[in-house]
A and B are shown apart, each in its own frame.
Chain A
Amino acid sequence: MPGRIVAGVLAPHPPHLVYGENPERNEPRSEGGWEVLRWGYERCRRSVLALKPDVLIVHSPHWPTIVGHHLLGLPEFHGLSVDPIFPNLFRYHFDMRVDVDLAEIIAGEIRAAGMIAKMMRNPKFRVDYGTITSCAMINPAWDIPIVGMSSNIAPFYYSNEVGQAAMVELGQATRRAIEKSGRRAVLLASNSLSHRHFTTEGEVPEDMSREHPFRHGQYLWDMQMIRLMKEGRTRELLAVLPEFEDHTESEVKSGALAWMLSALGLPTFPAEVHAYGTVIGTGNAVVEWNMERGS
């Protein structure tokens, strides 16, 4: 039976969300914080896990690669991931399983499409906090294997449009691979939306009285993007992403959202927006495209 993508999720990865959850795997302790986003993740998690996926495939901007697209290529990874920007919030002991067979199939499809793909097989590799956060927020039990994909830096060397075109191709290759594999897959696009941060932090990071959009214009752009998602206008969304990136320093420039929407086939049904909130000024939305429910 051919595999299929059962859902795609815009799954932002500010480590603050893991910090706020206080999982045992994370060393720092919090008094909570960013509840709206975390509750949104709870709703999304229930919906996605009910689909009983075989694998979570995550594309993360915090694994940047220069030559091609890389995939985690060993069956297990363990270690301590410390966020170099927010080490006070995220020191996470990870222990994950990887669906290497599917990763190999995806790599094959990437190469067949004329792109470069590499398998990362160094067991000492530290998985990035973007991958970990998105997976942890969707599946805190870590009982579903993942496929971790890097974020090729081509968009930062060429125009936004050229970079996005490469991600669209990557998404199509990913879809073909999933169909060949027989897996039921959930795609996680590990991106924030607007991405200009505050450069100061309060003594208590989870003091929500300090949390707000970096500036009003960024917020308005985020709402425009979310409106397009809610109205099922993903083709239009892709078309306006380059401008969105220029105006808001959006993290979607790294390609995960374009990759995911392409793999989903640019769905025309309304997405489910579980939450929107800011984290140190950046705009973040938890948005689900449930392919089983569809329109």
Chain B
Amino acid sequence: MNSSHPVVAAHIVPGHPHILLAPERSPGWTSLRKSYQALAADIAAAEADVLLVYSTGWVSVIGHQMQADPNPRWLHVDPNWYELGDMPYDFRVDAAFGHAYAAQARAVGLEARTVSYHGFPIDTGTVVALTLANAGNRLPASIVSCNMYSEKKESVLLGQAAARALWAEKKRAVVLCVTSLSSRYEVSEIDPAQDRISSLKDDEWNRKVLELLGEGRLEDVSQVAREFAHQANADMRFKAIWWLAGLLGQHNRYRGRVRDYQPVWGTGAALVSLEHAEKELAHKEFDDVPDVDVSAGAGSARGADGPVFVPGAPKPVGTYPHARRVGNMLFLSGIGPRSPLDNSIPEGAEAQSRAVIENIKSILAAAGSSLERVVDVTAYLTHMERDFAAFNKVYAEHFAAIQPTRTTVEVGSLPTAIDVELKVVATC
């Protein structure tokens, strides 16, 4: 992080109570909980004076509100997810900074006030984020609301006012920007173990935004936020990103790290960390088109025979496509568990098996097929005795009803440091 900037680290985090109260019910929620734990460790090690929180769950109408109760305490029950349980909280708040922030917001022409009332309802997102990311109240928090009418200009100004306040008060901050990505909840009961992003379009948009954030392109995301909000029903029109850009700086000079991305009841939940970097990245087209030899009749046109390249899937480690279409048959190359966002490899056979199947699903979907149309699977494991049981369990979850033929072999190694690879054939 730029050592002169008062923000030492900034994190986009989800505020779903599921992550705090019932992580065990879904692999995705478990993963988010673990990612929060890792984030909490990083925050605990940060040299900062205050934890600055912007939450889309705290909606305001009359301008912007800053929490100034030095010790808000309550037993919070989420009005919708009350069946998950209660959320007691006892937070430490930097009231003086809250007042300073409100003053700076007014100085730039915004309507702003502090609130300090016994029993004031801290919103679920803030409760979840502070409970999971700031164990023991190590850092005093400063919490600001999300005005329901504010547009980009006002949200950026609010972020800039926070930066001014940090400079003026000579405080260094860790930032938590509590927001979902796509916010299209499943409106019926679901099996949490089968939780998924509620629409393919939402998932594609989430992944593209995360790709940009993973590359530190905060300003690029700020520019596409309106379209993202429209297309993917983004949380509070994704105005949180404008606040963050105002606070950190409206440019792309960041190192981004996507820690996790999971569904929570159909919505997109992600943990992303941003640090200042020295260089600005080059301009990037929103939809990068892979370099294919169109003269040979190849391409990624849907329905045409030939190689299939899927933007957003893990990049092949050699000169081969993700799949090849021949008539109504689709032959996938061996697919591993690397994350398409940051190339990371999950730990353990179970997590790798799940990641492999998710990658395969996205390739199949892009090519006009689906998991349900898989007819043959070849599985490659580097440690059969150690990993077969875990792999087999995950395999059964996804393929038990589909019943493709399967061959499982142990291999000495795979091209990268992965332990699980699948090669599938499907109809399309």
A67–B79 contact, CB under 8 A? no
Nearest CB of chain A from residue B379's CB, rounded to whole Å = 37
A150 to B111, CA, bound (A): 31
B-chain residues with CB within 8 Å of residue A66 when the two chains form the complex: 80, 185-187, 265
A91 touches B119 (CB 8 A): yes
**B-contacting residues, A109-157, CB 8 Å:** 116, 118, 120, 122, 124-126, 128, 150, 152-154, 157
Q: A64 interface residue, CB < 8 Å from B? A: yes
Is A199 within 8 A of B121, CB to CB? Answer: no
- Which residues of the other chain, A, contact B121 by a CB distance below 8 angstroms? 82, 84, 126
Per the bound structure, the CA–CA distance linking A203 and B178 in Å amounts to 31
Tell which of B57-65, B237-245, B303-311, B329-337 binds the partner. B57-65
> A19 in the interface, Cβ–Cβ < 8 Å?
no
Note all chain A residues with C-beta closer than 8 A to B265. 66
User: What count of chain A residues pass the 8 Å CB interface test?
Assistant: 34
Q: Is the CB of A85 within 8 A of B187?
A: no
How distant is B288 from chain A, measured CB to nearest CB, in Å? 31
Kindly identify, within residues 42 to 63 of chain B, every residue whose CB is under 8 Å from any CB belonging to chain A.
58-63
Any A CB within 8 A of the CB of B189: yes
Against A, the Cβ 8 Å flags (1 = close, 0 = not) of B177-197 are 000000011111100000000
Q: Given the complex of chains A and B, what is the CA–CA distance between A79 and B61 in angstroms?
A: 24
Chain B hits for A197, CB < 8 A: 61-62, 149
Contact yes or no, A201 B80, CB < 8 A: no
Query: Is B389 engaged at the interface, CB distance under 8 Å to the other chain?
Result: no
Contacts of A136-193 to chain B: CB distance below 8 A? 150, 152-154, 157
B63 near A124 with CB under 8 A, answer no
Say whether, besides A91-B117, A122-B82, A199-B149, A67 and B62 are in contact (CB < 8 Å). Answer: no
- Is there a chain A Cβ closer than 8 Å to B24's Cβ? no
Q: Determine which of B62, B79, B123 lies in contact with A201 in the assembled complex, contact meaning CB atoms within 8 Å.
A: B62
Inter-chain CA distance A115–B83, complex, in Å, is 19
Flag B120-141 by CB within 8 Å of A: 1 or 0 each: 1101000000000000000000
B62 near A84 with CB under 8 A, answer no
Per the bound structure, the CA–CA distance linking A64 and B77 in Å amounts to 13
Whether A80 sits at the interface, judged by CB under 8 Å, is yes
User: When chains A and B are docked, how far (Å) is the Cα of A124 from the Cα of B83?
Assistant: 11
A65 CB to closest chain B CB, in angstroms? Answer: 5
Given contacts A84-B59, A120-B82, A197-B61, contact A67 B188 (CB under 8 A): yes
A122 pairs with B58, CB closer than 8 A: no
Q: Contact at B75–A84, with CB atoms within 8 Å?
A: no
Assembly CA distance A80 to B118 (angstroms): 9
Q: Which residues of A contact B187 (CB under 8 A)?
A: 66-68, 152-154, 157
**List of B residues within 8 angstroms of A122 by Cβ:** 77, 82-83, 86
With an 8 Å Cβ cutoff, the count of chain B residues facing the other chain is: 31
Give Cα A122 to B87, complex, Å. 12
Known interface pairs A125-B79, A126-B77; A157-B184 also in contact (CB < 8 Å): yes
Q: Is A82's CB under 8 angstroms from B117's CB?
A: yes
Chain B residue with the shortest CB-CB distance to A166: B187
Say yes or no: A124-B117 contact (C-beta < 8 A), given A66-B80, A199-B147. Answer: no
B149 touches A67 (CB 8 A): no
Q: Which residues of B contact A280 (CB under 8 A)?
A: 61-62
Which residues of chain A from 23 to 70 have any CB-CB distance to chain B below 8 Å in the complex? Answer: 63-68, 70
User: B37 contacts the other chain (Cβ, under 8 Å)?
Assistant: no
A284 to chain B minimum Cβ distance, whole angstroms, is 15
| Interface residue A87 (Cβ < 8 Å from any Cβ of B) | yes
CA of A91 to CA of B120, assembled, Å: 9
B369 at the interface (CB under 8 A from A): no
CA–CA, A101 and B326, complex, Å = 63
A200 on the B face (CB < 8 A): yes
Interface hits, B148-197 → A, CB 8 Å: 149, 184-189
B117 touches A200 (CB 8 A): no
Contact of B188 with A124 in the complex, beta carbons under 8 Å:
no
A266 to chain B minimum Cβ distance, whole angstroms, is 26
CB nearest to A205 among chain B residues: B62
Mark interface residues in A69-80 (1 if CB within 8 Å of B CB, else 0).
Answer: 010000000001
CB of A199 within 8 A of CB of B63, answer yes
Q: A12 to B131, alpha carbons, bound, how many Å?
A: 36
- CA separation between A70 and B89, bound complex, in Å? 25
Which residues does chain A contribute within 8 Å of B184, judged by CB atoms? 157
Q: Which residue of A lies closest to B64 (CB)?
A: A199
**B233: Cβ under 8 A from any A Cβ:** yes
**B115 close to A (CB within 8 Å):** yes
Q: Which residues on the B side are within 8 Å of A82 (C-beta)?
A: 117, 119-121
- Residues on B with C-beta less than 8 A from A154 are 187
Bound-state Cα–Cα, A193 to B44, Å: 48
Query: Which A residue's beta carbon lies closest to that of B184?
Result: A157
Chain B residue contacts of A88, Cβ below 8 A: 115
**Other-chain residue from B115, B118, B189 in contact with A67 (beta carbon distance below 8 A):** B189
Known: A122-B86, A199-B61. 7 other contacts (CB 8 A): A65-B80, A67-B187, A82-B119, A87-B120, A91-B117, A125-B77, A154-B187
Q: List 25 A-B contacts (CB under 8 A).
A: A66-B185, A66-B186, A67-B187, A67-B188, A80-B119, A82-B120, A86-B62, A91-B117, A91-B119, A118-B83, A120-B82, A122-B77, A122-B86, A125-B77, A125-B82, A126-B77, A126-B79, A152-B187, A154-B187, A157-B187, A157-B233, A197-B61, A199-B111, A280-B61, A280-B62
Q: Which residues of A contact B (CB under 8 A)?
A: 63-68, 70, 80, 82, 84-88, 91, 116, 118, 120, 122, 124-126, 128, 150, 152-154, 157, 197-201, 280
The 4 closest A-B pairs by CB, nearest first: A80-B119, A122-B82, A201-B62, A66-B185
